[in-house]
Amino acid sequence: MKFFLISTLCLFFCSLVFTTVASADEVSYTGTWACSQYFNGEMPDISLKGNSLRQIIRISIPGENLRFHFSNIFGDEELELLSVHVAKSAGQGTGSIVPETDTVITFNKGQENVIIPANSDIISDTIPFSASTLEELAITINYGKIPKALTGHAGARTNSFIELGNVVSKETFDGSIKFARWYTLSAIDVVNTGNTEAILCYGDSITDGRGSTTDKQNRWPDIFAEKLQSYPGTQHLAVLNHGIGGSSLYGQTSPQWPTGNGRFQKDVVEQVNVKYMIVLYGINDIIYGNKDADTLIKGFKELIQNTHNLGI
């Protein structure tokens, strides 16, 4: 009987220790930046195959360990990333990085290249990278194979830069080939070190940044993020901009024009640690879809219920 009791206690305490260690090793994340993915036929001015694309984004909350989401969700062929780097941006609209911060982004536990299957997304390894509050980062991708339909976000309001060959660590891209669109990069998460949560801004071109200034990061969700970071009580809140210009809440959804209802799974359900959501939809439903108030109210009520069901 004593042997049985001691054995049982040993098993209990061993189980407790292992459970505690496992819990300590669990990692949780919060999105610090995101953009909705779609394909509207606007391809880069030159082929990305074999060349390097540098994209500038501004995160909302800081982190010491980051992971990156890349999308080929609307590509009907494989997308190959030969090399991907992140660095701190050296200035808005310059295409320059701070060289000593240049860091390799890896995949599948240490690989520097990855193939994203058709109609799929991937998430990178979590890498050590110190990113400050509201900091601009430059993510540079050297591409291999690319599909005919390239997934991205046309309403970037931030210039991206292309240079020939694999020059992911080059300090300055000369700017001779640039455009205000994003491709492939869909989100960035930080490892939680506290009680961080995300606010998702969901809507059409007003949320996407219509009327803002290219390279100035002054869309209304950007200003909102600045306000949140200026008060200690709200500094734990990230802001994710999921606006798409020209989109409506209702209607036929497509890769070119995803609707608010049609992209709910991808742009709300699958987002990381969202606690709150702000919705600004309706004007395109009225102008282009001839929807009346009762129809819109019904749609908003359904959206609210579906969102509340997620705990948002």
Please state the pTM of the whole predicted model.
0.91
Residues in the chain: 312
Residue 231 pLDDT grade (very low, low, confident, very high; cuts 50, 70, 90): very high
Q: What pLDDT does 6 receive?
A: 42
Q: Which residue has the tokens 């995949």?
A: 107
* E strand map for 73-125: 79-88, 103-104, 114-116, 120-123
Q: Can you tell me the mean pLDDT for 42-50? A: 90
Please, what is the Cα angle at 223 between 217 and 242, to 5 degrees? 75
Q: What pLDDT does 18 receive?
A: 36
Q: What pLDDT does 14 receive?
A: 43
Q: Can you tell me the mean pLDDT for 176-195? A: 95
Work out the widest C-alpha separation in the chain, in whole angstroms. 82
Interacting residues of 122 by C-beta distance below 8 A, sequence separation 6+: 69, 70, 107, 114, 116
Q: Can you tell me the mean pLDDT for 8-37? A: 62
The amino acid at 211? G
Average pLDDT of the chain is 92
126, pLDDT greater than 60: yes
Separation of CA 26 from chain center: 22
Ranges of each domain in the chain: 29-309
Write the CA distances from 112 to 40, 85, 106, 128, 190, integer angstroms: 29, 9, 5, 15, 20
Q: What pLDDT does 15 receive?
A: 43
57, pLDDT greater than 80: yes
124/256: higher pLDDT: 124
DSSP element (H, E) containing 69: strand 63-72
94, pLDDT greater than 70: yes
Q: Which residue has the tokens 């734990």?
A: 236
Q: What pLDDT does 84 receive?
A: 99
Q: Can you tell me the mean pLDDT for 267-289? A: 97
Q: What pLDDT does 17 receive?
A: 39
Q: What pLDDT does 295 receive?
A: 93
